[in-house]
Chain A
Amino acid sequence: MNKTKRSTEKLFGLSVEEYEKISELLGHEPDGFELGIFSAMWSEHCSYKSSKVYLKTLPTEGGKVLIGPGENAGVVDFGDGDVLVFKMESHNHPSFIEPFQGSATGVGGIMRDIFTMGARPVANLNSLRFGSFSHPRTPYYLSEVVKGIGFYGNCMGVPTVGGEVVFDECYNDNILVNAFTIGIAKKDGIFLSSKCEVGNIVVYVGSATGMDGIHGATMASEEFDLKKNKKRSTVQVGDPFTEKLLLEACLEAMEKKLIVSIQDMGAAGLTSSSFEMADKSGKGMLIDLDAIPLRTAGMTPVEMMLSESQERMLIACEKEKLDELKAVFDKWGLNCVKAGEVIKEKVIKFYYNSKIYKTLDVDVIVNGPEYKRPVKKPEYLKEITPVKIDNYKIPENLNDIAVKIITHPNIASKRKVFTQYDYTIGTATVVPPGFSAAVLRVNGNKGFLLNAGGNSKYTYLNPFTGGALAVTECARNITACGGYPAAITDCLNFASPEDPEIMWQFASAVEGVKSAAVKLNTPVISGNVSFYNETAKKDGDKTYVSKIYPTPVIGMLGFIEDVNKALTPCFKDEGDEIYLLGSFKGELGGSLYMELAYGDFRQKPADLNLDYEVRLQNCLRSLIEKGFLKSAADVSEGGIFTALAENAITNPEKILGFAVDYDIKAHGLRIDEFLFSEFEQAFIVTMDKELSGRRESGIAVILKEYGIKLEKIGAVKKNIMKINGIIDLKSGKIKEGYYSVI
């Protein structure tokens, strides 16, 4: 083959060097089948070749962690013989191509990762990013993605209890759909993909294999008939009904101890499941391609291997148990066929048309390249400096800006989104979506909390802070409900790793995640990396690349001993006193206020003091546990005004308000700095008027122990929102706006 002529398409997304490496390893140039397998297994998606060196630095042990990254999902001890299993995964590109099916299969895929481990999924979360709210395509993406998520999760009977929806121009050409699932299992009922024994039967279960999701790979292959392509579709179509049956069948087979090892077929379907199972078990396999149930007759071997048809699993079972296993899958009306055998030699031998078709070395395929790609501090960061507030005149009418902020699509209620998800199924949802963290009870009063999110704008402005903030912010939400942050999963969405500036963002953001996770003692037990979230665009004669902001998203699990003690952030009663717990900096860099008031958010956000953060959160939790507080909320996007306003209007039973007076002079702040600075290391808490009299005793002791300040700033009122005689709004009006934007 003439090397200079080899197009990148021909290489299936592999680099020339990688192609040459493969030829060297094989001792010949790869044929279509081999190239298909390599391109899948050596892809960024499957091999983590650009991110591995950084992911290795994350804390993965300690606390209640039983199994960290490396399996389909991580496992945390929940006590009393139970474990929780969770992971988050991206499905960005498929969701951009076909938002309904893409998001649906994203949810289906992550749930499979969870029940592959032997856990019954008990809750879903998702983190969604769309283009600017006014972009003509945004309503379409929003409605289809939400429909797709609901379609799959609702049908599976797994409640979707939280998440986030963010709009930003940077996602106009690359939406993000990150899906999180948590499941519960018995400690001794966890299943792994690494347990295959020589002589085990390899069993294929679930839906038949079709042409779904076979992308560039076969496009470039000689075997691909372009004319046929017109009729073909490579979009993966989700079938939650079949997945529900697959879930029940798998759990039943596990319960009956019919499964030795199991791996879901996710990205690169049969290829990654077979090679990974073999590799992790240190074994090899015979795979009989003639046995694979096909939906489309005449699929070629490479097509079978690369198909991403949904709702399929690969199982290793003991020979004697095969019939019993078949009986279980038969009960649920699912395919269950013998597709091979586990062998000692670490190779996979493929049979096709009853003959040995190909033999591939497991190590060669699985040990893909690992890169430490060049990094370079992005040019734009030179311009990102702290806000010089004196250069900005305080706007005439801060009330108008306050209303703009509370009705901004990124702040306003996402009720119209989450009411399309069944969040009450499972009879476990104690605190539903719409507050901060979701609270679920398990047995009796024991429970856990979930939260997911991240702030890409801040990550863009300071990748380290953004990464750390994603973790602390989830932790704040969990702590404010009275929970203990326990462990996290991370979904890292970035543009191309081949751009040194992007790689620098990635490295710094991971460093931020790591620092916060270490300090807060929340190990990373699973996660996912999604690179290449960028699109080449043409604007007249100009071509440019539209890139997303670096978007690390965290999913966090917290524990609570008694869900009856869980706190919600909303105000409870008129007359309660409002306090500010923590420190208040008033830096406006990166805030929504700077954007809306001055059209300029490109300033450096305040730094995070992680040691202080830990003390602050522990202090808050102590106050909650002792029963001193009636509500607690962190100060996040939109600042203290937004936090107060939300607390006032989200009480499901009544409309409340507040009157707040803060001595800004004494704190050296401008009024807008007080009202709108974001992600302060502070919480707004309320107390019963009577109770606060006991400050001297209980509360003061706790404050002193942690060295945290508590300042009274006002009181809960009915229907008015007043701050320092400057903000003067009506709760009813604000509520109406807040709930009607999206």
Chain B
Amino acid sequence: MFRKILIANRGEIAIRIIRTCRELGVRAVAIYSEADAESLHVRMADEAVCVGPAASNQSYLKIETIVAAAKEVNADAIHPGYGFLAESAEFARAVREAGLIFIGPSPEAMEIMGSKTSARRAAVEAGVAIVPGTVEPLASFEDASATAQKFGYPVMLKAAAGGGGKGMRLVAESGELRSAFETAQAEAAAAFGDSSLYLEKAVERPRHIEIQIFGDTHGSVVHLGERECSIQRRHQKVIEECPSPLNDPDLRRQMGEAAVKIGRAVNYTGAGTVEFLFSDTTHEFYFLEMNTRLQVEHPVTELVTGRDLVREQFRVATGEPLSFTQEDVDWQGHAIECRIYAEDPANNFFPSPGTITHLREPAGPGVRVDSGVTRLSEVSIYYDPMIAKLAVWGRTRDEAIDRLKRALDEYEVSGITTTLSFFREVVTDEEFISGRLDTGFITRFSERRASREVKTNQVETDLAVIAAALSYAMRQQQSAPQTSVMKSRWKIAARNAGLRKS
């Protein structure tokens, strides 16, 4: 096993990896930007190196600086996490050339899958169906317009270098194409430094189902089943489940085999995810893309398979064979994950940076929290606003939903606005509970939500008013001269007023 590794990431995923390091007795080296010097991932690391100013392109994306840091601290290997440089073949190559181990697939595999067009080509060659669309990047708006006409609307515009829904637009009719094309190009350029787009026929009411695969350097590639990630907003996943509510063993086998084929086609090593679009109507599935890294949502697979995917990544990266075969993999119960973002659901999910003044995370049976923050953490404007992941496990999907409701109710965050309130509504939504999901869920849910008139609880709002008034009164007392007396009298009084009639 490694002696020391550098984690080229921040936030909850850096902490997730630090935890496995601790469990394996590997020293964990964090990197951080100047804005992150006091971040939890730095505080939890054994060592930490500052790699530059706040802006990611001057710190977390600086290949040379990061590789140099790893050499400087004598790390054996680098784990990229997800996002940032996780899917940069250039980075993987630089790490290899520096004589260090990159905990991930080969740069070659990353390059093939890194461009969606070449990835689609690879899938076709491996005999896996893809969504009808262009295999080459679009030359121009005119090209886009012509192609769209050919396939017929609705169509999807996607960034060739893309991921995370950035540079992605659904276009319902020709009139929307130009502005969508421009925005998508702009976003793609900003996010990936590459504005090229491609176009796909839009599958209607599609489920986003992905397969977790794992390969080793001894030629075996296996799958750990599916994750349902249909609940997305702005083409970003917000709730993921394992297994899919469909929970169909045959489908799991078919999609698993297709994913393994694609993995084999690129001699895939380590953890990877093959994303499919599944049509609820035709029950056909199409290859979408492959993510050549650990996924944000890996915990649901860990909860249901009982396997530590990061631990397995380490193992494979040291050249050992996988610790399990396809036959060894089994699935117990049901897991659901919610991504907790510092965003305001009441304001179009706009980011809500700030200082976390109070934090109580849920715990107890069947609850797992992977958090990147603690009390008094600053959520800065510079990075992805996800502050934590809440994952729950239950024997059945219903039990998991019961747990999720309970855990969301326990979750307390003050100082910033989060998506917790949004999730609390989702988990009581009939369509969610029924499990009939597709990528349009959030749009429909938001409409239901808007139409529903909010019945406020009079007692609750009155208590809120009283609490505010108390807080006001306290302040008056404190600013008044005789404060301390009154304050302490109040405190003492409060302490004494214990006995309640029973």
A-B complex is real: no
Please list the residues of chain A having a beta carbon within 8 angstroms of any beta carbon in chain B. none
Please list the residues of chain B having a beta carbon within 8 angstroms of any beta carbon in chain A. none
